[in-house]
Protein backbone atom coordinates (compact mmCIF):
# COMPACT_ATOMS: atom_id res chain seq x y z
CA UNK A 1 0.00 0.00 0.00
CA UNK A 2 0.89 3.69 -0.02
CA UNK A 3 2.04 5.25 3.22
CA UNK A 4 0.31 8.51 4.03
CA UNK A 5 2.48 11.40 5.19
CA UNK A 6 1.48 14.10 7.65
CA UNK A 7 1.82 17.79 6.84
CA UNK A 8 3.02 19.30 10.10
CA UNK A 9 3.25 22.79 8.59
CA UNK A 10 -0.54 23.16 8.39
CA UNK A 11 -2.20 25.10 11.17
CA UNK A 12 -5.87 24.69 10.28
CA UNK A 13 -8.28 22.36 12.06
CA UNK A 14 -11.34 20.65 10.63
CA UNK A 15 -12.20 17.74 8.36
CA UNK A 16 -11.62 17.03 4.66
CA UNK A 17 -14.00 14.48 3.13
CA UNK A 18 -13.91 12.61 -0.18
CA UNK A 19 -17.65 12.77 -0.80
CA UNK A 20 -17.97 9.78 -3.15
CA UNK A 21 -16.01 7.42 -0.87
CA UNK A 22 -17.85 8.61 2.24
CA UNK A 23 -21.29 8.17 0.62
CA UNK A 24 -20.41 4.58 -0.29
CA UNK A 25 -19.37 3.67 3.26
CA UNK A 26 -21.53 5.79 5.56
CA UNK A 27 -25.29 6.45 5.34
CA UNK A 28 -25.63 10.23 5.39
CA UNK A 29 -27.85 12.97 4.02
CA UNK A 30 -27.13 13.77 0.38
CA UNK A 31 -26.38 17.43 1.00
CA UNK A 32 -23.47 19.75 1.74
CA UNK A 33 -24.70 20.27 5.31
CA UNK A 34 -25.07 16.50 5.83
CA UNK A 35 -21.34 16.02 5.12
CA UNK A 36 -20.19 19.14 6.97
CA UNK A 37 -21.98 18.02 10.15
CA UNK A 38 -19.49 15.13 10.45
CA UNK A 39 -16.87 17.72 11.46
CA UNK A 40 -16.23 18.08 15.23
CA UNK A 41 -17.55 21.41 16.47
CA UNK A 42 -20.08 21.85 13.63
CA UNK A 43 -23.81 21.82 14.40
CA UNK A 44 -27.13 23.13 13.13
CA UNK A 45 -28.35 26.58 14.22
CA UNK A 46 -31.67 27.44 15.79
CA UNK A 47 -34.64 26.65 13.56
CA UNK A 48 -35.60 30.34 13.37
CA UNK A 49 -32.20 31.12 11.81
CA UNK A 50 -32.59 28.39 9.20
CA UNK A 51 -36.00 29.82 8.36
CA UNK A 52 -34.29 33.16 7.57
CA UNK A 53 -32.23 31.58 4.79
CA UNK A 54 -33.56 32.73 1.40
CA UNK A 55 -32.43 29.50 -0.23
CA UNK A 56 -34.25 27.03 2.05
CA UNK A 57 -30.91 25.54 3.11
CA UNK A 58 -29.52 24.08 6.32
CA UNK A 59 -26.93 26.58 7.51
CA UNK A 60 -24.12 25.66 9.89
CA UNK A 61 -22.78 26.79 13.25
CA UNK A 62 -19.01 26.35 13.68
CA UNK A 63 -17.55 26.26 17.20
CA UNK A 64 -20.45 28.22 18.65
CA UNK A 65 -20.27 31.18 16.25
CA UNK A 66 -23.25 32.65 14.42
CA UNK A 67 -24.49 30.88 11.28
CA UNK A 68 -23.86 34.16 9.41
CA UNK A 69 -20.14 34.15 10.28
CA UNK A 70 -19.14 31.21 8.06
CA UNK A 71 -18.24 31.41 4.36
CA UNK A 72 -18.65 28.90 1.53
CA UNK A 73 -16.37 28.38 -1.47
CA UNK A 74 -16.78 26.38 -4.69
CA UNK A 75 -13.58 25.83 -6.66
CA UNK A 76 -12.02 28.83 -4.94
CA UNK A 77 -14.96 31.20 -5.55
CA UNK A 78 -16.84 32.68 -2.60
CA UNK A 79 -20.51 31.67 -3.09
CA UNK A 80 -21.91 32.86 0.25
CA UNK A 81 -25.25 34.67 0.05
CA UNK A 82 -24.00 38.26 0.39
CA UNK A 83 -27.46 39.65 1.17
CA UNK A 84 -27.94 38.14 4.62
CA UNK A 85 -24.94 35.74 4.82
CA UNK A 86 -27.31 32.83 5.43
CA UNK A 87 -27.02 30.30 2.62
CA UNK A 88 -24.83 29.67 -0.38
CA UNK A 89 -24.86 28.55 -4.01
CA UNK A 90 -25.81 24.89 -3.84
CA UNK A 91 -24.46 21.98 -5.89
CA UNK A 92 -25.83 18.62 -7.03
CA UNK A 93 -24.49 16.09 -4.54
CA UNK A 94 -23.01 13.84 -7.26
CA UNK A 95 -21.01 16.76 -8.67
CA UNK A 96 -18.96 17.26 -5.49
CA UNK A 97 -15.51 15.66 -5.23
CA UNK A 98 -14.39 16.92 -1.80
CA UNK A 99 -15.71 19.08 1.02
CA UNK A 100 -13.08 20.62 3.32
CA UNK A 101 -14.55 22.14 6.49
CA UNK A 102 -12.11 24.42 8.32
CA UNK A 103 -13.06 25.26 11.90
CA UNK A 104 -9.99 27.30 12.87
CA UNK A 105 -6.44 28.31 12.06
CA UNK A 106 -7.17 28.60 8.35
CA UNK A 107 -5.07 30.57 5.87
CA UNK A 108 -5.55 34.23 4.92
CA UNK A 109 -6.90 33.23 1.49
CA UNK A 110 -10.13 32.27 3.24
CA UNK A 111 -10.94 35.76 4.44
CA UNK A 112 -14.18 37.47 5.44
CA UNK A 113 -15.02 34.74 7.96
CA UNK A 114 -15.08 34.83 11.73
CA UNK A 115 -16.69 31.40 11.97
CA UNK A 116 -15.72 28.51 9.72
CA UNK A 117 -14.99 27.82 6.07
CA UNK A 118 -16.72 25.21 3.89
CA UNK A 119 -14.53 24.70 0.83
CA UNK A 120 -16.02 22.53 -1.95
CA UNK A 121 -14.29 21.19 -5.06
CA UNK A 122 -16.30 19.76 -7.96
CA UNK A 123 -15.42 16.61 -9.88
CA UNK A 124 -13.20 16.81 -12.97
CA UNK A 125 -12.66 14.79 -16.10
CA UNK A 126 -9.55 12.75 -16.93
CA UNK A 127 -8.13 10.59 -19.73
CA UNK A 128 -10.46 7.79 -18.63
CA UNK A 129 -14.17 7.82 -19.42
CA UNK A 130 -16.53 7.70 -16.45
CA UNK A 131 -20.29 7.87 -16.25
CA UNK A 132 -23.15 6.92 -14.01
CA UNK A 133 -26.60 7.65 -12.67
CA UNK A 134 -28.22 7.82 -9.26
CA UNK A 135 -31.87 7.92 -8.26
CA UNK A 136 -33.13 8.86 -4.81
CA UNK A 137 -36.86 8.42 -4.20
CA UNK A 138 -38.65 9.11 -0.92
CA UNK A 139 -42.27 7.86 -1.23
CA UNK A 140 -45.06 9.03 1.01
CA UNK A 141 -45.94 5.48 2.13
CA UNK A 142 -42.65 5.14 4.01
CA UNK A 143 -43.09 8.33 6.05
CA UNK A 144 -44.52 8.54 9.56
CA UNK A 145 -47.23 11.06 10.43
CA UNK A 146 -47.71 13.33 13.40
CA UNK A 147 -50.90 12.71 15.41
CA UNK A 148 -53.96 14.92 15.18
CA UNK A 149 -53.52 18.18 17.11
CA UNK A 150 -55.70 21.02 18.41
CA UNK A 151 -55.36 24.78 18.49
CA UNK A 152 -57.14 26.50 21.36
CA UNK A 153 -57.65 29.80 19.57
CA UNK A 154 -58.06 33.06 21.49
CA UNK A 155 -60.03 36.25 21.73
CA UNK A 156 -62.20 36.50 18.63
CA UNK A 157 -60.39 33.54 17.07
CA UNK A 158 -62.02 30.11 17.05
CA UNK A 159 -60.03 27.00 17.84
CA UNK A 160 -59.14 24.43 15.20
CA UNK A 161 -58.36 20.78 14.71
CA UNK A 162 -55.08 20.16 12.88
CA UNK A 163 -55.38 17.06 10.67
CA UNK A 164 -51.68 16.17 10.42
CA UNK A 165 -52.39 12.77 8.91
CA UNK A 166 -53.59 14.49 5.75
CA UNK A 167 -50.10 15.89 5.17
CA UNK A 168 -47.83 14.08 2.73
CA UNK A 169 -44.46 14.56 1.06
CA UNK A 170 -42.90 12.77 -1.91
CA UNK A 171 -39.49 13.63 -3.42
CA UNK A 172 -37.53 12.40 -6.44
CA UNK A 173 -33.90 13.31 -7.13
CA UNK A 174 -32.04 11.93 -10.18
CA UNK A 175 -28.51 12.57 -11.43
CA UNK A 176 -26.85 11.50 -14.69
CA UNK A 177 -23.19 12.36 -15.26
CA UNK A 178 -20.38 11.76 -17.76
CA UNK A 179 -16.71 12.73 -17.82
CA UNK A 180 -13.72 12.11 -20.06
CA UNK A 181 -11.16 13.65 -22.41
CA UNK A 182 -11.82 16.11 -25.20
CA UNK A 183 -8.11 16.28 -26.10
CA UNK A 184 -6.04 13.54 -24.47
CA UNK A 185 -3.67 14.83 -21.77
CA UNK A 186 -4.84 18.37 -22.49
CA UNK A 187 -8.56 19.15 -22.21
CA UNK A 188 -11.13 17.30 -20.08
CA UNK A 189 -14.82 17.71 -19.22
CA UNK A 190 -17.30 16.76 -16.54
CA UNK A 191 -21.05 17.19 -17.14
CA UNK A 192 -24.07 16.42 -14.96
CA UNK A 193 -27.84 16.94 -15.10
CA UNK A 194 -29.94 16.75 -11.95
CA UNK A 195 -33.78 16.72 -12.39
CA UNK A 196 -35.65 17.11 -9.08
CA UNK A 197 -39.33 17.13 -8.14
CA UNK A 198 -41.34 17.47 -4.94
CA UNK A 199 -45.03 16.89 -4.22
CA UNK A 200 -46.35 18.05 -0.86
CA UNK A 201 -49.75 18.27 0.81
CA UNK A 202 -49.78 20.36 3.98
CA UNK A 203 -51.81 19.55 7.09
CA UNK A 204 -55.39 20.86 7.05
CA UNK A 205 -56.79 23.02 9.84
CA UNK A 206 -60.54 22.99 10.48
CA UNK A 207 -62.52 26.24 10.67
CA UNK A 208 -63.76 25.46 14.14
CA UNK A 209 -64.17 22.80 16.82
CA UNK A 210 -67.86 21.98 16.41
CA UNK A 211 -70.53 21.34 13.81
CA UNK A 212 -69.73 21.54 10.14
CA UNK A 213 -66.71 23.74 10.89
CA UNK A 214 -64.98 20.74 12.45
CA UNK A 215 -64.82 19.01 9.07
CA UNK A 216 -64.32 22.09 6.88
CA UNK A 217 -60.97 23.57 5.99
CA UNK A 218 -58.49 24.40 3.26
CA UNK A 219 -55.55 22.20 2.34
CA UNK A 220 -52.55 23.56 0.48
CA UNK A 221 -50.82 21.53 -2.25
CA UNK A 222 -47.38 22.35 -3.58
CA UNK A 223 -45.63 20.75 -6.56
CA UNK A 224 -42.18 21.90 -7.66
CA UNK A 225 -39.68 20.85 -10.29
CA UNK A 226 -36.18 22.31 -10.02
CA UNK A 227 -33.72 20.80 -12.50
CA UNK A 228 -30.03 21.67 -12.18
CA UNK A 229 -27.00 21.06 -14.37
CA UNK A 230 -23.24 21.51 -14.12
CA UNK A 231 -20.47 21.51 -16.74
CA UNK A 232 -16.77 21.84 -16.04
CA UNK A 233 -13.75 22.04 -18.34
CA UNK A 234 -10.14 21.47 -17.21
CA UNK A 235 -7.21 22.53 -19.40
CA UNK A 236 -3.56 21.54 -18.93
CA UNK A 237 -1.61 24.41 -20.48
CA UNK A 238 1.78 22.73 -20.07
CA UNK A 239 2.93 19.12 -20.17
CA UNK A 240 2.83 17.39 -16.80
pLDDT at 1: 46
Write out pLDDT tens, residues 90-129: 899 999 999 999 998 888 888 778 889 999 999 999 999 9
CB of 163 closer than 8 Å to CB of 148:
yes
pLDDT at 214: 76
- Tell me the C-alpha distance between 188 and 61, whole Å: 37
CB of 65 closer than 8 Å to CB of 116:
yes
Q: Taking the model in full, what pTM does it have?
A: 0.80
Sheet holding 204-206, edge to edge: 149-151, 160-163, 204-206, 217-218
Write out pLDDT tens, residues 180-195: 999 999 999 999 999 9
Amino acid sequence: GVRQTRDFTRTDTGLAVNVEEMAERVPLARSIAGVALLTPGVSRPDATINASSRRNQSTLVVSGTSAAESVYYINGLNVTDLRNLLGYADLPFDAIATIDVKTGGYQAEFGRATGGVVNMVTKSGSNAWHGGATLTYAPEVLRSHAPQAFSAGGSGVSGATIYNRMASLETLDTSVYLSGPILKDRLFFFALVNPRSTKEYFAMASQGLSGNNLHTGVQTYNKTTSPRWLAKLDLNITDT
